[in-house]
Amino acid sequence: MLCISYQPDEKTCVQFTVKLMYFLLSALGLVACVLAVAFATHHYLQMTKFTCDTVLESCQCKLDTVDPLGRTFIYQDAADCGSLTSMLNLYLLLQMALNLVAALVCLLTCFVMWKHRYQVFYVGVRFHPLTAAAEGQKQQV
């Protein structure tokens, strides 16, 4: 998508529509990936504070052991709580890393498309006719 040649006035409606949709979807992907990183980080920080016990071939994890109303997470058919929590921590770290990479790719795509479209300045062309007209008036006076 980034290799489509730029036409100055967006002469084709299809080109403009496709580029706009690509930019909007990249921005939406950026927001989704940042939210995914935030939630994975939140869950990872919660899992590091868990205390887990094996009860009847299931792993029961609590965030706060002294709170009787505290939330209990039960993982059925998991006899080894240590390997379960380490595996889930690894999955969450991997999810954070991959979503961060995806967010950076979406950000780079948005930046390249924005820069390609809006940061092309032709300052010299605009002021050149003004200086030429001013020089012509000086010669006539």
Q: Which residues pair with 51 in a beta bridge?
A: 62
Top-confidence residue, 104 or 56: 104
pLDDT in tens, 57-102: 888 888 887 877 878 888 888 878 888 888 999 999 999 999 999 9
Q: What pTM was estimated for this model as a whole? A: 0.68
Residues forming beta bridges with residue 59, ordered by sequence position: 54, 75
What is the per-residue pLDDT across 105-140, written as a single tens digit (0 to 9) for each? Answer: 999 988 887 776 666 544 344 444 555 555 555 555
The residue whose two tokens read 């006076």 is 141
Single-letter amino acid, residue 84: L
pLDDT above 80 (res 9): no
- Digit-coded pLDDT (tens) for 16-47: 787 888 889 999 999 999 999 999 999 999 88
Helix or strand holding residue 53 (H, E): strand 51-55
Helices (H), the chain: 13-48, 81-118, 123-140
Give the other-Cβ count within 10 Å of 133's Cβ.
9
